[in-house]
């Protein structure tokens, strides 16, 4: 199936059995997904009708309510991938040509990209939300719910803006005199119409590669990098000798002991600098962080993180990020091979 800038043949190619097999697999997975989607949709609907507990200040606890927004957005983006991208691709493979017209080609590629971009960005937003929940653990209830809504507004607006180039890049093309059309990129069309020895072919191939790199970056690598950075930053708070952590007095002593062991093979001057000078400053910062503000109770970030690690929301967030990485990382790594 012609989906990239692969050179277009002037004759109708023969149908490949691998394409028919792929279409059948997609339709089988689609039938399974419909059953799962109905169950997940019903579960989300029930969760939306649950009454949340009220805190002492009259606000609802916002963790589950906010996370429901994330799960709903993730559910919508998954449905878009399966109901728009997957089904139409299966039909496209079975029909062996594009029969949905010029604007149908652009709309299909646009909304497919919106689905992929929003899916990755929602996972990224969940990681950012967990990161902010650790470092601003005093923000709960309506304020946290409002923050989640703003993040999701940005996710979907960004997905639509980032997918807008698809409206210009994709179009239908008939490579021969027969009524056989395909939905291809403008780069593939130009390469097909240029002479093989034209100096412009190399420039068009370069532009095509830039477009594919942009699409992969927006669909996976950029949100994946932010997601990994958030979780690594949160996990780094548990490393005893991490230089930017704020620890309590017991952890300060424990950090100093481990730091001495870690730097035991270094010179005394370096050991003194890392294990005494820096730790003394961090110990002072730890004491300052435990000074309560007026009307609020503040906890050191490590304490907040340990509370977050035990919550169902945090575990679900980690599960979503890990599943997303397992499903999409191998495919995107293989896709990078075309740039070699």
In a domain, 212, yes or no: yes
In a domain, 218, yes or no: yes
pTM: 0.74
In a domain, 155, yes or no: yes
In a domain, 278, yes or no: no
In a domain, 137, yes or no: yes
CATH number of 55's domain: 1.20.1070.10
- pLDDT confidence band for 337 (50 / 70 / 90): confident
The string of pLDDT tens digits covering residues 67-99 is 899 999 999 999 999 999 999 999 999 998 999
Higher pLDDT pick, 134 / 52: 134
CA distance 245 to 58: 33
**Collapsed DSSP state (helix, strand, coil) of residue 185:** strand
Number of domains within the chain: 1
Q: Write the CB contacts of 212 (distance below 8 Å, at least 6 apart in sequence).
A: 4, 5, 338
In a domain, 100, yes or no: yes
- Nearest CA to 93 out of 157, 163, 17 is that of 17
Q: To the nearest whole percent, how much of the chain has pLDDT over 70?
A: 67
CB 159 within 8 A of CB 114: yes
- Domain holding 99, by residue range, is 17-239+316-339
In a domain, 303, yes or no: no
> Looking at residue 156, what is its pLDDT?
98
> Looking at residue 121, what is its pLDDT?
97
In a domain, 37, yes or no: yes
């Amino acid at each position: 199936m012609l989906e990239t800038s692969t050179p277009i043949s002037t004759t109708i190619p023969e149908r490949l059995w691998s394409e028919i097999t792929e279409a059948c697999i997609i339709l089988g997975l689609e039938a399974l997904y419909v059953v799962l989607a109905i169950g997940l949709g019903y579960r989300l609907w029930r969760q939306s009708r649950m009454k949340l507990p009220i805190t002492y200040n009259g606000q609802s606890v916002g963790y589950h309510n906010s996370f429901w927004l994330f799960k709903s957005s993730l559910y919508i983006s998954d449905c878009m991938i399966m109901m728009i991208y997957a089904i139409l691709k299966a039909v496209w493979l079975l029909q062996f040509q594009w029969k949905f017209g010029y604007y149908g080609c652009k709309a299909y590629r646009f909304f497919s990209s919106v689905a992929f971009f929003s899916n990755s960005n929602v996972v990224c937003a969940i990681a950012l939300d967990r990161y902010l929940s650790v470092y601003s653990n005093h923000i709960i209830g309506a304020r946290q719910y409002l923050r989640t809504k703003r993040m999701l507004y940005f996710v979907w607006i960004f997905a639509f803006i980032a997918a807008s180039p698809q409206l210009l890049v994709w179009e239908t093309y008939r490579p021969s005199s027969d009524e056989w059309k395909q939905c291809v990129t403008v780069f593939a069309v130009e390469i097909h119409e240029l002479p093989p020895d034209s100096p412009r072919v190399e420039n068009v191939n370069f532009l095509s590669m830039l477009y594919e790199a942009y699409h992969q970056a927006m669909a996976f690598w950029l949100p994946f990098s932010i997601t990994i950075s958030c979780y690594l930053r949160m996990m780094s708070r548990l490393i005893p000798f991490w230089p930017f952590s704020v620890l309590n007095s017991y952890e300060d002593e424990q950090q100093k002991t481990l730091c001495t062991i870690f730097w035991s093979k270094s010179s005394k001057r370096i050991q003194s600098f890392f294990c005494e000078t820096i730790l003394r400053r961090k110990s002072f910062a730890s004491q300052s962080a435990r000074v309560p503000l007026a009307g609020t109770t503040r906890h050191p970030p490590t304490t907040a993180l340990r509370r977050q690690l035990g919550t169902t929301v945090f575990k679900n967030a980690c599960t979503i990020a890990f599943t997303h990485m397992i499903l999409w990382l191998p495919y995107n790594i293989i896709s990078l091979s075309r740039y070699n």
